[in-house]
Amino acid sequence: MVEAIRFTGDAVELIDQRLLPARETWVRCEDAAQTAAAIRDMVVRGAPAIGITAAYGLALAARRGDDLDAARRTLLAARPTAVNLRWAVERLAGLSPAQMVAEAQAMHAQDIAINRALGGHGADLLPAARHVYHHCNTGALASGGWGTALGIVRSIAERGQSIHVWVGETRPYLQGARLTAWELLKEDIPCTLVVEGVAASLMASGQVDAVLVGCDRVAANGDVANKIGTLGLAVLAKHYGVPFYVAMPTSTLDRDCPTGADIPIEERSAAEVVGYRDVRWAAEVPVFNPAFDVTPAALVTAWVTEFGPWRPPFPAVNPPFVASGGPTG
């Protein structure tokens, strides 16, 4: 399985996702400022991975004796939409430096266990699925390991079932083309890369059995903030009668956020849209580049969690999670 985050004791090291698939290069972060910069600049991305990385960054600040309030503010400002970042930072509150390190490491290990459990529940929902459409990147690169929506695909393949993935390119940052396709290629899971404009034709011709997406934040009513383009896929899936599943580790459920209208949506640089490095292909016009959109709960077939499929109204309190892959009791 792909490894994206590793902790060395005096640094958190991150595979530089900006350079994939051409080069596998690691970035070393030794304090909160460097960690926040890596999150902001997309060295690491994906809600669970951002949370784990931020936890390590805060633990490093504590070990160094840095100002923890300043470190928290720096980390929390890195990316505003993914709720895991705030969740991870708050989880370390009030701990000693040694406890922070241990908690961050536990969070990392638990995320893998959660994703394995989620993947199994998702595989149970899709026993007959042969062709799934996947948006953005939700694999090991976007998490502590295994992945969320892509973890469901991994779990299906692990069971020996036939599965093929339509990989949405995911403009403008190309997370599907660069990252998801790379992960699936490494694990020999059949896939085909498509531009987002092909999704409607695929669904219309019956070539999609389910759409699988991740999430960066889910409001209390089930509205889903995820990579830009998710809403369009949900509308298409509803029209063509294709199940639309959101892989939702419960750490991404924001019970303090009533609806999707209350979720802050990050806007990113125009440079991501108009060209690449020193090549510009767009005309000199204004650019609107939101990183996420919000899909109404009514368009979601089910939210797949580590506890199994959920539908609103969600349980008031999450059941306890055990590393074996499910709730206690």
CA dist., res. 299 & res. 106, Å (int) = 34
**Catalytic residue, candidates 69, 111, 209, 216:** 216
Using DSSP's 3-state secondary structure scheme, residue 301 falls into: coil
Q: Which is it for strands 224-227 and 217-219: parallel, antiparallel or unpaired?
A: antiparallel
| pLDDT value of residue 327 | 37
Tokens representing residue 129 in the block: 């699925």
Indicate the fold that domain 119-327 takes in CATH: Rossmann fold (3.40.50)
Q: Which of 91, 9, 100, 10 is nearest to 48 (CA)?
A: 91
**Residue 220 C-beta-side C-alpha neighbours within 13 Å:** 7
Task: Return residue ranges of the chain for CATH 3.40.50.10470.
Answer: 119-327
In contact, 113 and 325? CB cutoff 8 Å = yes
In CATH terms, 5-111 corresponds, of 3.40.50.300, 1.10.357.140, 3.40.50.11140, 1.20.120.420, to 1.20.120.420
CA dist., res. 32 & res. 57, Å (int) = 5
Q: Could you state, in chain order, the average pLDDT of each consecutive group of 10 residues for the chain (329 residues)?
A: 92 97 96 97 93 97 97 94 88 96 96 96 94 97 95 97 97 96 96 97 98 96 97 98 97 94 94 90 96 98 97 88 49
* Cα 70 → chain centroid: 26
Task: Return residue ranges of the chain for CATH 1.20.120.420.
Answer: 5-111
In contact, 302 and 309? CB cutoff 8 Å = yes
Q: Which of 71, 109, 64 is nearest to 92 (CA)?
A: 71
| pLDDT value of residue 40 | 95
CA dist., res. 73 & res. 314, Å (int) = 30
Q: How many residues are given for the chain?
A: 329
Q: Confirm whether 293 is a catalytic residue.
A: no
SS3 string of 133-174? EECCCCCHHHCCCCCCHHHHHHHHHHCCCCCEEEEECCCCCC
| pLDDT value of residue 329 | 28
